[in-house]
Structure 1
Amino acid sequence: MISEKTITDFVYLEADLLDTMQWQAWLDLFHPEGRYWMPLEWQQQDPVLQPSLMYEDLLLMKVRIERLAGERTFSQKPKSRCHHLLQAPQIVACDPAAGIFKARTSFIYTETRGDTLERFSGWASHDLVQVGDDLKIRLKRIDLVNFDAPFGNIQLFM
């Protein structure tokens, strides 16, 4: 039975997998139709008809992970690293009968590579579905506080 604690533990596990660069284990958390979305506008509703900072399906996420893990990826020498500092996830929906599980988590995200250190703040929203006994990410949405600022390259996943 999926509980609010199950959802909270899932959010913390996902951040830990990213922080420890366990890319394949992180990717395995996604539903086959899962998406990773970073809107370009405040309260943006459409990732397809409106421009986004990122809108990736499983294939695009796999390509980015292969690039990050590649030995001949010179833009990743030294490799990028990240750290997620999360507030306790707010459970937006936990309805096992309807199969609806949603959480929203405030975060501070740090990404570093060599001498460069970038910080971002915002909210991560997880729309989850139950597959067997497990939760899978149908949509991970990252809303940045400063979504309209100019950004350098965001190498990793928030």
Structure 2
Amino acid sequence: MTIDHQALSDLIYLDALLLDEARYDEWLALFAEDGRYWVPLKGRLQAEDEKYNAIADEDRLLLALRIDRLKAGRAHSQQTTSTAQHVLQQPMSVASDVGAGVYVLRTPFSYAESRGEDLVTLHGHYIHRIVAVDGQLRIALKRVNLVNAHARLPMIQLFP
């Protein structure tokens, strides 16, 4: 199965769109069964095997629990609901193993999250490891490398 760059980019843009529109169940469905959402504490400087220093490190189960909490209205921090907007640059292919169906892309981003009068703005780049599973593209890893991950960060409620 040949995967072109446009199909990979479209998945990354869809990832951001679903989050911006709070379509969390559809967003979660983009992940592989063993998919991981990771925001390393050291940003781009952190090796992938340094799993314990993280702002967020969630598998599908933990993501599903967080999504259920957001949807149920039980999250005190979401009384006024947060909204988000992702602005992405063009994804760039940084590695691939076509035979194994694994593709890695880097995408610079800006992210804004608003709740009431508060606005959080974050910048960085994503590393998406995308896999082909039964003819479908799925996210095996979404790594969020924040520019200032090492700094004191404001409360982040959603998914940068």
Give the TM-score normalised by the residue count of structure 1.
0.94
Paired AA for residue 120 in structure 1: L
Paired AA for residue 60 in structure 1: L
Output the CA distance in 2 between the equivalents of 1:75 and 1:157.
Answer: 14
Deviation at 1:97, TM superposition (A): 2.0
Aligned to 2:45, what secondary structure does the other structure show? coil
Output the CA distance in 2 between the equivalents of 1:60 and 1:95.
Answer: 28
Deviation at 1:74, TM superposition (A): 3.1
Output the CA distance in 2 between the equivalents of 1:9 and 1:94.
Answer: 17
Contact 1:47 1:55 in 2 (8 A): no
Q: Deviations over 1:83-130 (max 9, x none)?
A: 000000011234432312111000000001011100000001100110
Aligned to 1:21, what secondary structure does the other structure show? coil
Aligned to 1:53, what secondary structure does the other structure show? strand
Task: Name the structure 1 match of 2:41.
Answer: 40
Aligned-CA RMSD value: 1.3
Between 1:37-46 and 1:101-110, the stretch displaced more is 37-46
Output the CA distance in 2 between the equivalents of 1:75 and 1:117.
Answer: 14
Percent identity over paired residues: 42
Aligned to 1:59, what secondary structure does the other structure show? helix
Task: Name the structure 2 match of 1:14.
Answer: 15
Aligned to 1:126, which of 125, 128, 136?
A: 128
Output the CA distance in 1 between the equivalents of 2:97 and 2:59.
Answer: 25
Task: Name the structure 2 match of 1:116.
Answer: 118
Matched pairs, number: 157
Contact 1:104 1:123 in 2 (8 A): yes
